[in-house]
Chain A
């Protein structure tokens, strides 16, 4: 009993020392520019399970734990918006049992999240689910809607979870909404002002961006894809045209503090280079 108590005390002491050192490190890093928005493509869960000879679902579970740590480090570092690519529309093409497993895992985690709402609201995290939510199974979709509703008043930090998402779904949808908005505006302008109607149909970049799912947040400063692959897989194609791309070789469940720190460090180095370039141009 006494041993357990000691190890508990030592464990807690080391844990708090760890956390203090981390906060100090982030404090030092915040002398330079900190990215406002980081996006993550959480790739490599299945390869992780194969590597450690686990059953396939265990890779996704481990991935969820990694997500929680990475989120914690990002928010501690001062990043305001974090977007993650949880499930693509293309992933529906995977084996049905795997798709079902991921859906069940998401449902379980969202329900668990809803139980901790007090803590979430204390930290001021707003959760948004981005994508074609109609494609999700009803219980998952309902849970997602409830989570969005429950955190809608928070403004300190944002977590955007992209499920049933691809850019090639988001962009046509934004065009559709922009056209509809123009059509209904055009009606009002039509009262005797024909020139305005022609002008009114000219859709600009700002109109499109207003109607994107991701229009509520600024563009990502960094796009991180784990597991070493360098491709976008139809994620945030519109929003990442000026984002720094970072692809650590670690599989998603292996991602941790050092990757977040290194990503921010690369961003800071690039930031000064970009500023210098802008001045020269």
Chain B
């Protein structure tokens, strides 16, 4: 309601260093941005391999290989504090940085986060533009961090509808980190589970039309290979965490969630930190996984 009457500052003016390397938070003219979390891990100078330190209460063998996170609740967080939704997104970005650090530290091999769903286009244009700018700036600034931490960036989703500048940053980020191997960081932008299956289906349909494939040969493995998020590149998620108490999947992942353990928490995404992540991992470890047997 307020966003239409206030003019927003250009995000890049105060995002000059959102994930800055200094431990002091960015001091800008906008006093509301003190919500940034400081980065406690930046000062670590040991190599990535030495830093897999499992916290108490978790067993190394039961750490999930692939964790997917739906970062829900940024706008609600901002609304509860009387802030603009954009402040919520910024705080959410800070929380994401901390979680990426923790996952890297604890040896989680793949982390997927939903930055922007296909349904989010329905949000006010001002917000959508802000999110796109935020993603661009984050990608630009975080490549150096990912190179240092040996993290490989991948982006899934329909990138054709994104602004050209963002597409370029995505290509740059993926290319620069393609040889990294300690951890996979997958960003889902303009992705939805149904879209993934439909585009796989269309690709199969084209092959059928061209006679490369017979309709009788269509099976789950063929679909698996054509998905944007397929098990050749990354294993299916072991654990899906959704914050802010929403008890539904909202088309984030679909095919890939067949045997995924789902974990829902009431915490809003900007409040999701080490304690909440530990809680989720402990809950995951206590679950017996039968895969249908």
Q: Does A169 belong to the interface (CB within 8 Å)?
A: yes
- With a CB–CB cut-off of 8 A, which chain A residues contact B257? 232, 237
Q: Does B126 belong to the interface (CB within 8 Å)?
A: no
Contact of A245 among B193, B247, B259, B291 (CB under 8 A): B247
Q: By the criterion CB–CB under 8 Å, are A243 and B201 in contact?
A: no
Contact of A183 among B194, B215, B287 (CB under 8 A): B215
Min CB–CB distance A248 → chain B (angstroms)? 12
Q: Does B174 belong to the interface (CB within 8 Å)?
A: no
A231 with B261: in contact, given A179-B218, A202-B202, A241-B250 (CB under 8 Å)? yes
Chain A, 65-90, contact with B by CB distance < 8 Å: what is the 0/1 string? 00000000000000000000000111
Contact of B248 among A88, A169, A183, A245 (CB under 8 A): A245
A198, closest chain B residue (CB): B209
Q: By the criterion CB–CB under 8 Å, are A91 and B292 in contact?
A: yes
Q: Which of B7-15, B44-52, B153-161, B219-227 contacts A (4 or more CB under 8 A)?
A: B219-227
Q: Does B262 belong to the interface (CB within 8 Å)?
A: yes
Cα–Cα distance between A234 and B194 once the two chains are bound (Å): 15
Q: Looking at chain B, what size class is its interface with the partner chain?
A: 35 or more
- With a CB–CB cut-off of 8 A, which chain A residues contact B208? 179, 183
Chain A, 224-247, contact with B by CB distance < 8 Å: what is the 0/1 string? 000001111110011011111110
Cα–Cα distance between A204 and B209 once the two chains are bound (Å): 16
Q: By the criterion CB–CB under 8 Å, are A233 and B262 in contact?
A: no
Q: By the criterion CB–CB under 8 Å, are B201 and A208 in contact?
A: yes
Cα–Cα distance between A244 and B257 once the two chains are bound (Å): 16
Q: Does A176 belong to the interface (CB within 8 Å)?
A: yes
- With a CB–CB cut-off of 8 A, which chain A residues contact B194? 205, 238, 241
Contact of A203 among B202, B250, B287 (CB under 8 A): B202
Q: Does A137 belong to the interface (CB within 8 Å)?
A: no
- With a CB–CB cut-off of 8 A, which chain B residues contact A176? 215-216, 218
B124, closest chain A residue (CB): A281
- With a CB–CB cut-off of 8 A, which chain B residues contact A180? 215
Cα–Cα distance between A183 and B206 once the two chains are bound (Å): 11
A245 with B262: in contact, given A180-B215, A205-B194, A229-B287 (CB under 8 Å)? yes
Q: By the criterion CB–CB under 8 Å, are A172 and B260 in contact?
A: no
Q: Does B53 belong to the interface (CB within 8 Å)?
A: no
Q: By the criterion CB–CB under 8 Å, are B293 and A94 in contact?
A: yes
A-B contact count (CB 8 A): 118
- With a CB–CB cut-off of 8 A, which chain B residues contact A183? 208-209, 215
- With a CB–CB cut-off of 8 A, which chain A residues contact B122? 281
Q: Does B204 belong to the interface (CB within 8 Å)?
A: yes
Cα–Cα distance between A186 and B216 once the two chains are bound (Å): 18
- With a CB–CB cut-off of 8 A, which chain B residues contact A45? none
Min CB–CB distance A214 → chain B (angstroms)? 14
A233 with B223: in contact, given A91-B292, A171-B197, A201-B206 (CB under 8 Å)? no
- With a CB–CB cut-off of 8 A, which chain A residues contact B250? 241-242
- With a CB–CB cut-off of 8 A, which chain B residues contact A168? 220, 255, 258
- With a CB–CB cut-off of 8 A, which chain B residues contact A94? 293
Contact of A93 among B193, B197, B293 (CB under 8 A): B293
- With a CB–CB cut-off of 8 A, which chain B residues contact A270? 247
Q: By the criterion CB–CB under 8 Å, are A169 and B220 in contact?
A: yes
A270, closest chain B residue (CB): B247
> Can you report 10 A-B residue pairs in the complex whose CB atoms are below 8 A from each other?
A93-B292, A93-B293, A175-B218, A180-B215, A186-B209, A201-B209, A238-B197, A241-B249, A241-B251, A281-B123
Q: Which of B's residues lie within 8 Å of A, judged by CB?
A: 122-123, 193-194, 197-198, 201-202, 204-206, 208-209, 215-216, 218-220, 222-223, 247-251, 254-255, 257-264, 287, 291-293
- 8 residue pairs, one from A and one from B, having the closest CB atoms: A90-B292, A241-B251, A234-B258, A230-B262, A176-B218, A168-B220, A175-B201, A245-B247
Q: Beyond the given A205-B198, A230-B263, please list 10 additional residue pairs across the A-B interface where CB-CB is below 8 A.
A: A168-B258, A179-B204, A186-B209, A201-B202, A232-B260, A234-B292, A237-B193, A241-B193, A241-B251, A243-B248
